Structure 1
């Protein structure tokens, strides 16, 4: 029977506590830092000559679907009642609303070094030291809304623009493509439109959420659960359309062996995007 992922605002006090405790436990065991390292290893862009599986590519959505599922399974081995909640950033847009409360993820970083001082993931609790990183920092940082050059979270209209596109992805299958649901949701662009939807949320949170080590902020999972939910919404809305490309690009393409087609293995797992399109038997969203 499929379990349920809830809106973070709908969690009971007990559910919030159990979610936090499960995260802290896998951190103590060293499991959590392995998720950070895996994401860093797969944080490569268009300029990378090898295979791009996690970002700036069609497999952005199935890759992160499997990634979040693996984290969720780790949490459920600690406490079988726990699931990953989602943060609807089109509704809960204030820096003081959920999930930015003391009993859940803690609040904004302090002025200066942007260190998070409140909540269970503050460095001073002794439970959340950053060990896998791309910088030397060992404490969690945030700059919610950006103290300099403030920005807003994506809106329902921004999300609708992505959901309305019936095509999953399109050539050249990278960060420059202007058509297709995948990149409109992932959020690469140019000029003023350079940060949309998923990417814009990472920028809005700031601090640790910038770059390959963004997994160090637990909000990463709530954010990506919501992104995953949008893929499910898109699938229901456009039932005749599927993951693209269906076949690998040929030798004459600059994306030859650089992206994952529908039936190709999605590294680092032995699974294909095709196998991750339908997860209705595993979980559903409330």
Structure 2
């Protein structure tokens, strides 16, 4: 028995050392160290530009038209979906990744919209919210081509601020096999395990790697949704405002918190958590618009941002040649989407993954539920898993040397300073 104990200790220490090596090698080109280069936005051409073929953009237009003609559908917080609903959503996402009828596949084709010039025109200004709303509508329409009953969920990351022992990310059920898979490096578990992009980059995450990065602030969200003095769009997107008091600035937190591919603008949509996060951002904007209506405020598109010219109202919306930036504010874009309110006490959306903290009257992750899920694995299976992981990590170390390929120009932009 003592011999078996020593073997287990040795394996644990070996795995830890390999994981350190894995962390060093997984990003040899320093992609995760680069910052958003603001000057690069000004150096590139101001003309309309999209790297995708016109036929692919035509497909986006078809999806857009389908989204508007599809009729109202309801988006829910992902933890309030029942098991069958969540599995149907996951299956539809995987089906897009496997569908190569559009080059290179339907999932990656949509992810590629969030690259190159759009890194400048869809961030740090007025176009941020409208451009991403169009992106979500197109992605959701593609999902519904796979399963008519699927709608895009959203992830209320604010709830994960209240995890027990925060900021330990493993407490979040979002990053378990039943949802999005593991959060500690290359995604090896769950429905999206070993996903690769066009450059053979393997999907990876590094949740809260510095143990200090907060998620979206509940105070800022409350200000956006309820403070009556905050009632114009220019107050919640980047301009001369304090970046961290804006919705756009707060949205950066989750990108940094998830880390890995989510931390880099060009790579972020490769992680399925991207659309869940931006659906939450869109949910907050929807609540903000509701407040505007109650105040009888009629929003007008005002071009603000660090790269103002790219946010001009009549400029073509990048990769969506049939739209102008100002079209992102068109009420018809939101008319076909109904957001179910985020989980609230006392029932917390009837989710088995959430519970009500009666002291503060907020919903928090139910760690007991998450622990019960993890404890279903017996110790014998865990030992086998350790042995298997040793072999997998050793094998994957070779491919890590190739990670990221050419990381130059706009591909180097991260969410650190957006």
Q: How many residues align?
A: 248
Deviations 1:112-164 (A, max 9, x none): xx2122211111xxxx22225xxxx6211111122x25222122102223343
1:39-58 superposed matches below 5 A: 39-45=114-120, 52=121, 54-58=122-126
Question: Where is the helix percentage greater, Structure 1 or Structure 2?
Answer: 2
Instruction: After superposition, give the CA deviation of every residue in 1:11-63 in whole Å (9 maximum; x if it has no partner).
Output: 11111111111111111120111122210124434xxxxxx2x1112010010
Say yes or no: does 1:81 pair with 2:149.
yes
What is the aligned partner in structure 2 of residue 130 from structure 1?
197
TM-score by length of 1: 0.78
Question: What TM-score, normalized by structure 2, do the two folds share?
Answer: 0.54
What's the secondary structure of 1:103's corresponding residue? coil
Residue of structure 2 in register with 1:121 after alignment: 192
Instruction: Please list every run of 5 or more consecutive structure 2 residues that lacks an aligned counterpart in the other structure.
Output: 1-70, 100-104, 164-168, 341-418
CA–CA separation in structure 1 for the residues paired with 2:207 and 2:307: 36
- Partner SS, residue 338 of structure 2: strand
Query: 1:237 aligns to what?
Result: 291
Conserved 8 A contact 2:154-2:278:
yes
Please give the alpha-carbon distance, in whole angstroms, between the structure 2 residues aligned to 1:92 and 1:86: 13
Residue 338 of structure 2 corresponds to residue 284 of structure 1: yes
Q: What is the RMSD computed on CA atoms of the aligned residues? A: 2.7
Question: Which residues of structure 1 form unaligned runs of 5+?
Answer: 46-51, 188-196
- Mapped to 1, the partners of 2:281 and 2:79 lie a distance apart of 17
3-state SS of 1:142 partner:
strand
| Secondary structure at 1:60 match in 2 | helix
Q: How does 1:215-234 map to 2 (within 5 A)?
A: 215-234=269-288
Larger radius of gyration: 2
Helix, strand or coil at the partner of 2:74: strand
Residue 159 (1) aligns with residue 221 (2): yes
1:199-254 Cα shifts (integer Å, max 9, x gaps): 01101111110122100110000000000011111011122141431xx69xxxx9
Asked which structure has the greater RCO (Cα within 8 Å, sep 6+), the reply is 2
- Rounded to whole Å, the distance in 1 between the matches of 2:130 and 2:96 is 23
**Rounded Cα–Cα distance in structure 2 between residues aligned with 1:206 and 1:275:** 28
